[in-house]
C-alpha cells in the first residue's frame, strides 16, 4: 500500500478563496440592505427623499383652495408662509432666518433650500421642504432622525464586523496550518529531535516543514556526533587516569628498591627508572588536562617500526614486573615489519593487558608475552598463571567499568580490558580472552590489522 500524498495548495489560492468568501459576504450585505430598503419604502415605513416634493406637486390644488389654511396639510419637516399679492408675509411657521431666505427666494428666485409656490385666491403659499428620507412613524422619526446617515453607519459597522470576522477565520486557519511548523520549531529549540517528517496542505508551509526536517536531521547528526565526542573524551580521561597507575606502580617499586639496596649502581638505575616514569606521568597528566579542556585527543597515525614499539612495551613491562618481583618471559617473532598506527595508544593498550596479567599471576609469579605476525595482523598473546576469568568476567570483561574484585581487593579488569579493546577495534582488530584448559591462568590476545606488507 503506497503512502497517501496530501493535496497541497499555495498561499495565493488560500488568500484568494478567503477573499472570494469575504466579497460574497459584502455582496450579501448589500443585497440585504437593498431588500430591506425596498420593503420599508413599499410598506410606507420609510418615506423616500423626494416624498415631500411629490406630495406638494400632487396636492397643489388642495393647498390652494383650503380655507382657512391648515398646517396639517403639509408633509413632515415642511415649513410654510402665506403672502399677499404685494409680498407681505401674513402667517406661517418660518423663523426669522427662514423668512429672510424665503423673501430672497420670492425676489430673486434663488435660494440654498428647496421651495414651492402655490397660488391662492388672495395671494400665494410658499412651502420650504427638504430632500431627505424620513420615517412615517413619529416614534421612528424620534429614534432615527436621520435614517440615511443611520443606515450608512449601520452598513459600515456591519462591514467592519465582516472584515474582523473574516480576519479571525483566516487567522485561525493559518494558525491550524502552521501548527506542524510550530511543533517542529519547538522540538528543535528543546532538542527533542524526533525524526518524523510532517506535511501541510499549503505548499509554502510544506516547503518550510521540509527545510525544518532537513535541519532536524542535520542537528540530530551533529548532536549525536557531539555526544559521541563527549563519550570518547570521557573514555580517554578514564583510560588516562587508569594508565597513570602503571608508572606509579613502577615508581613506587623502584623507590622501595632504593630503600633496600646497598649498591650505588643499583640505586642509580632505580632512580633513572623513576625519572623516566615520572616524565611519563607528566605526559599522561598533560593529556588528561587537555581532555578536561574539551580539546579532543588527536590520535596520530604514522609509520612505526614494530621492533621499536615492542621495545617500548617490553621496557615498561619489565620495569613494573621487576617492581612486583614477577618474571616476564618475552617471545618475539617480529623482524623488520612496519605498521600504520598511533604508537603511544597501542603501547598503552598492550601495557594495560600485561599489567592486568602481572597483578593476577600467582603460580610461578611469571607472565608470558608473545609478539607475532599473521598477514597484516599484529598480535600480542599474554599469558598469566592466576585463577583465570570467572564465568561473569568471560561475558563482561570488555565492558566499560566492569570490575571483578579479587581477594586482594584490587580491580581485576576494569578499564584496562575496555580501553585495549577500544584501541584494537579502531584498527579493525579486537581482543580475545579465555582460561587455559589444562592449567590455571588466563590468556588474552590483542590483535590490530596495521602491518604494511612489502
What's the CA gap between 423 and 444, in Å, rounded? Answer: 15
Pairing state of beta strands 366-374 and 327-332?
A: parallel
What's the CA gap between 368 and 386, in Å, rounded? Answer: 12
Q: Take residue 258 and report the three cell numbers written for it.
A: 632504593
What's the CA gap between 396 and 393, in Å, rounded? Answer: 5
pLDDT at 177: 80
Phi then psi dihedrals of residue 203, to 5 deg = -60, -45
Report residues of the chain scoring pLDDT below 50.
1-5, 294-297, 405-413
Stated as kind and residue range, the H or E segment containing 327 is strand 327-332
Q: Take residue 64 and report the three cell numbers written for it.
A: 390652494
Residue 39, judged by CB atoms within 10 A of its CB (0-12, 13-18, 19+), counts as exposed
**Cα–Cα distances in Å, from 373 out to 243, 306, 346, 347?**
26, 10, 15, 16
pLDDT at 240: 63
Alpha carbon 116 to chain centroid, angstroms: 79
pLDDT at 287: 62
Q: Take residue 320 and report the three cell numbers written for it.
A: 613494573
pLDDT at 4: 46
What's the CA gap between 407 and 447, in Å, rounded? Answer: 30
Neighbour order of strands in the sheet with 366-374? 327-332, 366-374, 377-383, 442-449, 430-435
Residues 6+ apart with CB under 8 A from 309: 339, 341, 343, 346, 347
pLDDT at 243: 67
Phi then psi dihedrals of residue 244, to 5 deg = -60, -25
**Measuring CA to CA, which residue among 328, 438, 346 is closest to residue 384?**
328
Per-residue model confidence as pLDDT tens digits over 298-329: 567 889 999 999 999 998 888 888 877 889 99
Residues 6+ apart with CB under 8 A from 99: 81, 89, 92
Amino acid at each position: 500500500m503506497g503512502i497517501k500524498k496530501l493535496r497541497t495548495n499555495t498561499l495565493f489560492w488560500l488568500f484568494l478563496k478567503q477573499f472570494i468568501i469575504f466579497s460574497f459576504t459584502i455582496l450579501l450585505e448589500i443585497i440585504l440592505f437593498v431588500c430591506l430598503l425596498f420593503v420599508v419604502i413599499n410598506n410606507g415605513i420609510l418615506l423616500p427623499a423626494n416624498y415631500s416634493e411629490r406630495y406638494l406637486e400632487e396636492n397643489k390644488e388642495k393647498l390652494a383652495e383650503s380655507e382657512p389654511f391648515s398646517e396639517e396639510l403639509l408633509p413632515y419637516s415642511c415649513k410654510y408662509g402665506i403672502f399677499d399679492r404685494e409680498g407681505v408675509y401674513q402667517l406661517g411657521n418660518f423663523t426669522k432666518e427662514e423668512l429672510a431666505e424665503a423673501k430672497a427666494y420670492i425676489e430673486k428666485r434663488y435660494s440654498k433650500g428647496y421651495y414651492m409656490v402655490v397660488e391662492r385666491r388672495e395671494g400665494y403659499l410658499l412651502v420650504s421642504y427638504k430632500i431627505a428620507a424620513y420615517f412615517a412613524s413619529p416614534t421612528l422619526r424620534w429614534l432615527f432622525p436621520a435614517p440615511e446617515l443611520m443606515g450608512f453607519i449601520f452598513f459600515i459597522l456591519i462591514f467592519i464586523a465582516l472584515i474582523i470576522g473574516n480576519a479571525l477565520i483566516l487567522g485561525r486557519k493559518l494558525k491550524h496550518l502552521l501548527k506542524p511548523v510550530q511543533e517542529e520549531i519547538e522540538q528543535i529549540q528543546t532538542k527533542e529531535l524526533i525524526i518524523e517528517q510532517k506535511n501541510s496542505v499549503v505548499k509554502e508551509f510544506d516547503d518550510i516543514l521540509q527545510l525544518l526536517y532537513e535541519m532536524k536531521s542535520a542537528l540530530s547528526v551533529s548532536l549525536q556526533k557531539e555526544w559521541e565526542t563527549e563519550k570518547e573524551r570521557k573514555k580517554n580521561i578514564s583510560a588516562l587516569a587508569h594508565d597513570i597507575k602503571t608508572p606509579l606502580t613502577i615508581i613506587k617499586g623502584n623507590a622501595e628498591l632504593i630503600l633496600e639496596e646497598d649498591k650505588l649502581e643499583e640505586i642509580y638505575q632505580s632512580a633513572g627508572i623513576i625519572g623516566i616514569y615520572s616524565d611519563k606521568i607528566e605526559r599522561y597528566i598533560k593529556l588528561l588536562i587537555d581532555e578536561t579542556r574539551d580539546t579532543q585527543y588527536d590520535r596520530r597515525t604514522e609509520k612505526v617500526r614494530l621492533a621499536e614499539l615492542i621495545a617500548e612495551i617490553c621496557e615498561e613491562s619489565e620495569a613494573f614486573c621487576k617492581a612486583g618481583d614477577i618474571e616476564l618471559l618475552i617471545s618475539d617473532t617480529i623482524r623488520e615489519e612496519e605498521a600504520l598506527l598511533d604508537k603511544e595508544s597501542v603501547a598503552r593498550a598492550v601495557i594495560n593487558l600485561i599489567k592486568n596479567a602481572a597483578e593476577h599471576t600467582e603460580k610461578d609469579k611469571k607472565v608470558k608475552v608473545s609478539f607475532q605476525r599473521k598477514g597484516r595482523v599484529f598480535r600480542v598473546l599474554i599469558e598469566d598463571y592466576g585463577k583465570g576469568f570467572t564465568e561473569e568476567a568471560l561475558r563482561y570483561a570488555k565492558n566499560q567499568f566492569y570490575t571483578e574484585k579479587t581477594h586482594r581487593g584490587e580491580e581485576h579488569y576494569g578499564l584496562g580490558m575496555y580501553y585495549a579493546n577500544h584501541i584494537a577495534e579502531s584498527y579493525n582488530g579486537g581482543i580475545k580472552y579465555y582460561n587455559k584448559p589444562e592449567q590455571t591462568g588466563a590468556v588474552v590476545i590483542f590483535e590490530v590489522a596495521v602491518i604494511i606488507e612489502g
